[in-house]
Structures are given as C-alpha cells and as structure tokens.
Amino acid sequence: MTETVVGGDWQAWQESWDRQQEWYMPDREERFRVMLDMVEALVGPEPRVLDLACGTGSISDRLLKRFPKAESVGVDLDPALLAIAEGHFEHEPRVRFVRADLKDPAWPEKLPHDSYDAVLTATALHWLHSPQLRTLYGQLGGLVRDGGVFLNADHMPDDTTPRINAAEREFRHARMARAKETGAVDWAEWWRLAGADPRLAGPTAERFEIYGEHADGDTLAVQWHVGALREAGFAEARPVWASPTDSLVLALK
C-alpha cells in the first residue's frame, strides 16, 4: 500500500480512500448504486448535483460515469481530501469544487448555483451535532429545487435493538480483523500514508488542525432525519436502503 499510493497519481489516492472506507462499510457500492437509482428515477439522467461534504469525490466519480450529461459541484472543508478530488478531476469540465465549512451559515453563498436537482452525501454528516444538522437541512430545503431530491447515506443506529446491535458489531469487527491481517488499511494508517506524501503533507497537517483525530458529532436515528427533513420543507422523506448499521434517507422537495 505504501509503495503504490505514496507518490502515486491522484486516481490511486482516490481508490485507496475507497478501499479504506470499504473496510468499514463493505456494502458502500450498493448504497451508491441505490442513491443514483433514485436520482435517475426522480430527476432524470442529466442532473445538476451538489456533492455535499464530497471528500475525494467518490459520489461525483460514480455520478459522472453513470450519467455522462450530469454536472457536479463538490463542497468540503478538508484540504487533503479536496486536493485529491481536484487532482483526480483536474481535466473534467463537468465537476468543480468549493471549499466551505458547512457550519458557517454563509456557506451556500460560495456555490456557483442557487438551486440543484439533487444534493447527495454519504458518511459525512454524522460529523455535525444535531442543531447544526437541523440548520443545514433547513438550508438544503432552499437549495433543492421543487421536485428535486436530497439523499443522505450515513450511520443511523437503532438503539431499540441492543441484542441485534451487539451481535452485528461482534460479527463486523471479526470480519474487519481478518481483513486487517491481509493488508487492509484503516483510517489512522491511511492518514499516516497521506502525511508521508509530499503533495499531501501540508494539507494533511492543516486537516488535523481543523478536525483533530475525528469530529465528535451525533449519530442519529432514521426517524430523526425524516422528521428534520420534513420540517425543512421536504414534502416526503423516508429510508430507501439500509444495512445493519446505516441507512440511506431520501427526501423529495
């Protein structure tokens, strides 16, 4: 992993991020597939998309491969992940990136468009606390056009099923341990490798100054998200996919 990523091209870095995330979420591609299925079903194959908390651009990458006439705007605060995204998409006119803090009330003013057919995000908004997320959902209610969609795939636990949760956690951790023995790279090791790449050393250091090791946001149940999105002005909202630990919530304006 060290030899093939540190000093490698930007695509190699994006792919290594995907593999690291898949160590935690082996069904990651399935949630992306369902996400894009719902985009096509509700707004068609030529959407203008806001890739929210875009990271390395994993959603935008899959979006543009599936929908050649799509357009994507990625927004994130992380300088290291944005560096990978910008490098990977350097010659791609259908995507652009904006650096902004979603906790800043003025972040939408940095966007190039006032409305979007779809806003998509995955495994990111649990970095926010519930008051911040409620505010963000209210802002998205104004950014998604009438008939447009918001899709959020994230950790959404159900605390009413403790025995199921404990059994799933034990099973998942055992599988992750086996994968680690065969060379899987976890979060901490991935960031160590990023800091060892001369192109990413500075952005990685800045990233840890912003976030620390990990943010301390809230992981909220599906019902919380559905209720907050309806309060934000979405006419319909419900989960459209779930794993034992995560859900994909769809809200229709």
Helical (H) or strand (E) element with 108: none
The DSSP output letter for 80 is H
Q: pTM for the full model?
A: 0.95
- Residue 66 belongs to domain with CATH number: 3.40.50.150
The pLDDT value recorded for residue 4 is 55
Asked if residue 127 lies in contact with residue 215, where contact means CB atoms within 8 angstroms, the answer is yes
The pLDDT value recorded for residue 1 is 41
DSSP string, 115-174: -EEEEEEES-GGGS-HHHHHHHHHHHHHHEEEEEEEEEEEE---TT-HHHHHHHHHHHHH
Query: How many CB atoms are located within 10 Å of the residue 185 CB?
Result: 20
Domain extent, residue 94, equals 2-252
| Residue 226 token pair | 């559905």
Q: How many domains are contained in the chain?
A: 1
Mean pLDDT in order along the chain per 10 residues (253 residues) = 63 96 97 98 98 98 98 98 97 97 97 98 96 98 98 97 97 97 95 96 96 86 98 98 97 98
